[in-house]
Structure 1
Amino acid sequence: MTGASGRRRVTSADVAREAGVSRATVSYVLNDTPRQKIPEVTRQRVWGAAARLGYAPSAAARSLRTGRSHIVLGLLPDWPIEHVLGRLVQQLTNAFAEHELTFLVHSSARHARPLREIWKALTPAAVLALDEFPEAEAGAMRAAGVEVVMAVHGSVRGPHRPPLVPEEPIGAAQARYMVQAHRRLGYAYPDLTRLGVLAQPRLDGVRKVCAELGLREPDVRTIPFGPDGGVEAVKAWLGADPPVTGICAFNDEVALAVLVALRSLGLRAPHDLAVIGVDDIPGAALAQPPLTTIVRDTDTVARSLARRIVDALDRKQAPADPIRDPLSVEVRVSA
């Protein structure tokens, strides 16, 4: 069995023959060309023929006609593609579709095709990277006709631009909730260095709140992934002087590892150690005990990112402020 269906692509000439009109008329109707007085009955005949034949306009032809690609290339770092990232990709796809743009995703995971091969093959209208990437690469994209190159975290123009979607408020929200009942906080850091672009600013948010309130620096421990990954960290937190009583975890997966470690030691949250996560993944409500977590409005983030890209394509002035990420606390039992 081959990868090709063997069927010839339906063209506008086929639609013209089926409808009994010229190819120019088909083009005028399907492209809704202004100032062309096409009778309504003819329009309906063309649309009907196109539907019967399953005609789909060529993306390349549409780009030539409009002078712009309709593709936005999304660049994913080598991060675990879990619930929240998958949800964000879906919401970005929907948000760009509302602007008649197609969102295509490329992951930089090991053994993936080189990025340069991807954007050269697609020549997208815009590139949206979740992490930073070299300015030299961004310059090559622009020189090749990619109109907008934007990074959510980090910068394509240098290291000093603040992120479009800051992560520090997430850690701050965790800390503000926890300090209502806990004066000594710990931070559960992920055991994946490539997640540092997210984890470090979240930790900075916790540190900032502790400093504002005159509390000690959070006791930071790395949690290795695995069933026993958090045991040594939990022992260290409880053995500190004074003991740590509240843990802000990088995300829900890390928080769940801390809860598992507590159970393996015969302890429980929040009585022995309170824990709060981030993302409200489906398993958070099913944890033992159910996990308190920070909820992000990723749909608002996706729509805002799409709007920034569309405005940049339309040469509109971009706002200087970062995108607001509405946050709330889903209060459960663990904290």
Structure 2
Amino acid sequence: MVQRQEDRHRRCERAMDRPAKRATSADVARVAGVSRTTVSFVLNDKPGQTIPEETRRRVLEAARSLEYHPHSSARALAAGRSEIVLLSVPDMPIGPGTSRFIEELAAALVEHGLTLVTHLSGARGRPLPDVCATVNASAVVGFESFDADTVRALYSAGAEFVFPSQMDDSHSMRAIGRMQAEYLIGRGHRRIGYAMPANRGLRTMAEDRLHGVTAACAAAGVAPPVVASTNLEVAAAARAVTEWTAQSVTGVCAFNDETAIAILAGMREHGLAAPADLAVIGVDDVPTARLAAPPLTTVSFALHELSRRRAEVIVAGLTGREPSFTAEAISPQLVERSSA
């Protein structure tokens, strides 16, 4: 008898150590005293069904008490599609600007009942269509356009909407570079440099911005920009500064704020100061831009509005409406500080 009691005690202890089993719709139905069909109607707010208010209340209270969370597959079956939006992030450094965009996009999608899942693409990563099928994504979005083969594979993997599939975002990127160069030229700089990021994952975006800088120089009748590559190391940035000073550059358009702050550090290695010796302007207006020495002049854009518009495009694509997205949604603005 004592041995059996000890055995029961040990089984109870083991059971207490295990996490509670996930509640099911059958559990909710049992506690509420209704059928699983009724539970489905109530929790999915099924239209065309007349459910007594008392019954609805019991189901909702049972679901809360059991901490019931429907499986994504069940929600997808009820809604006709999943709530997952898959964001493909290319093989590039995830800086403050990129992180802020992802956070804003996730928040904007939540307002539409959608959940953002990110996938870091890379040489050793799983193919994007495989990830799409695994997470049962309804929509797939990216920072750059997908090639035609990838788009076909994503639709075959179950995606209902792919964005951007054939979108040319270079216009907005060039507009940012043009704004940088026009600001410096307007301040009297006639020899412009461009700080190109060394990371190849950023090269497409960086080259688009460089095209904008080059166009602004041509329109103003000044020489094309002097391009120097750098990473976020002081030594590399100092070498870029050496190239610019050797060619009488007086103003530099940096790919982004992080690159610009590296250039400021490289200038200090040469005993140079901004803007007296070399004016520097960045892009993104990251939180540390105002803390740079000196505070960084930069180009900002309305990330909240951009993310909201991007979420609306995704919802439109998922609901069969014609999605539209224009470069004007980026709305670049000059933020003047002390570096230029």
Paired AA for residue 212 in structure 1: A
Deviations 1:211-252 (A, max 9, x none): 111111111111233121122222222222xx2111110011
Check if 1:275 corresponds to 2:280.
Answer: yes
Which residue does the alignment assign to 2:336? 331
Which residue does the alignment assign to 1:213? 220
Are the equivalent residues in 1 in contact too, given 2:314–2:323 (CA < 8 A)?
no
Check if 1:46 corresponds to 2:65.
Answer: no
Q: For the structure 1 residues 332 and 84, does the alpha-carbon distance in structure 2 shift closer, same or farther, using more than 3 Å as the test?
A: same
Choose which of 183, 197, 202 in structure 2 pairs with 1:195: 202
Which residue does the alignment assign to 2:238? 231
Check if 1:170 corresponds to 2:176.
Answer: yes
Question: Of the two, which has the highest radius of gyration?
Answer: 2
Paired AA for residue 39 in structure 1: P
| Rounded Cα–Cα distance in structure 1 between residues aligned with 2:240 and 2:50 | 74
Mean Cα deviation higher: 85-94 or 113-122: 113-122
Q: For the structure 1 residues 5 and 297, does the alpha-carbon distance in structure 2 shift closer, same or farther, using more than 3 Å as the test?
A: farther
Q: For the structure 1 residues 11 and 300, does the alpha-carbon distance in structure 2 shift closer, same or farther, using more than 3 Å as the test?
A: same
Choose which of 104, 114, 124 in structure 1 pairs with 2:137: 124
Choose which of 245, 252, 260 in structure 1 pairs with 2:250: 245
Deviations 1:248-296 (A, max 9, x none): 1001111111111111111100000000011112221111111111112
Which residue does the alignment assign to 1:76? 89
TM-score, with structure 2 as normaliser: 0.90
Q: For the structure 1 residues 70 and 164, does the alpha-carbon distance in structure 2 shift closer, same or farther, using more than 3 Å as the test?
A: farther
Check if 1:186 corresponds to 2:193.
Answer: yes
Q: For the structure 1 residues 147 and 165, does the alpha-carbon distance in structure 2 shift closer, same or farther, using more than 3 Å as the test?
A: farther
**Higher relative helix content:** 2
| Rounded Cα–Cα distance in structure 2 between residues aligned with 1:195 and 1:250 | 9
| Rounded Cα–Cα distance in structure 2 between residues aligned with 1:198 and 1:130 | 10
Q: Please provide the CA RMSD for this pair.
A: 1.9
Paired AA for residue 112 in structure 2: H
Are the equivalent residues in 2 in contact too, given 1:185–1:248 (CA < 8 A)?
yes
| Rounded Cα–Cα distance in structure 1 between residues aligned with 2:237 and 2:170 | 32
| Rounded Cα–Cα distance in structure 2 between residues aligned with 1:164 and 1:68 | 32
| Rounded Cα–Cα distance in structure 1 between residues aligned with 2:18 and 2:297 | 51
Mean Cα deviation higher: 56-65 or 129-138: 129-138
Deviations 1:34-84 (A, max 9, x none): 232222122111111110110111110111122211111110001111111
Check if 1:286 corresponds to 2:291.
Answer: yes
Which residue does the alignment assign to 1:301? 306
What is the DSSP-based 3-state SS (H/G/I as helix, E as strand, rest coil) of the residue aligned with 2:312? helix
What percent of counterpart residues are identical?
42
Check if 1:145 corresponds to 2:158.
Answer: yes
What is the DSSP-based 3-state SS (H/G/I as helix, E as strand, rest coil) of the residue aligned with 1:179? helix
Which residue does the alignment assign to 2:11? none
Deviations 1:81-122 (A, max 9, x none): 111111111111111111111111000135333323311212
Paired AA for residue 290 in structure 1: P
Return 5+ residue gaps in structure 1 as ranges.
none
Following superposition, the deviation at residue 133 of structure 1 comes to 3.4
Which residue does the alignment assign to 2:75? 62
| Rounded Cα–Cα distance in structure 2 between residues aligned with 1:167 and 1:102 | 28
Paired AA for residue 120 in structure 1: A
Aligned residue pair count:
323
| Rounded Cα–Cα distance in structure 2 between residues aligned with 1:326 and 1:65 | 38
Choose which of 222, 242, 261 in structure 2 pairs with 1:256: 261
Following superposition, the deviation at residue 325 of structure 1 comes to 0.5
Q: For the structure 1 residues 7 and 113, does the alpha-carbon distance in structure 2 shift closer, same or farther, using more than 3 Å as the test?
A: farther
Which residue does the alignment assign to 1:28? 41
Following superposition, the deviation at residue 19 of structure 1 comes to 1.4
Deviations 1:144-175 (A, max 9, x none): 33111113xxxx45xxx522883111111111
Q: For the structure 1 residues 317 and 133, does the alpha-carbon distance in structure 2 shift closer, same or farther, using more than 3 Å as the test?
A: closer
| Rounded Cα–Cα distance in structure 2 between residues aligned with 1:209 and 1:11 | 62
Paired AA for residue 258 in structure 1: I
Paired AA for residue 255 in structure 2: F
Paired AA for residue 113 in structure 1: R
What is the DSSP-based 3-state SS (H/G/I as helix, E as strand, rest coil) of the residue aligned with 1:234? helix
Check if 1:317 corresponds to 2:335.
Answer: no
Paired AA for residue 10 in structure 1: A
What is the DSSP-based 3-state SS (H/G/I as helix, E as strand, rest coil) of the residue aligned with 1:222? strand
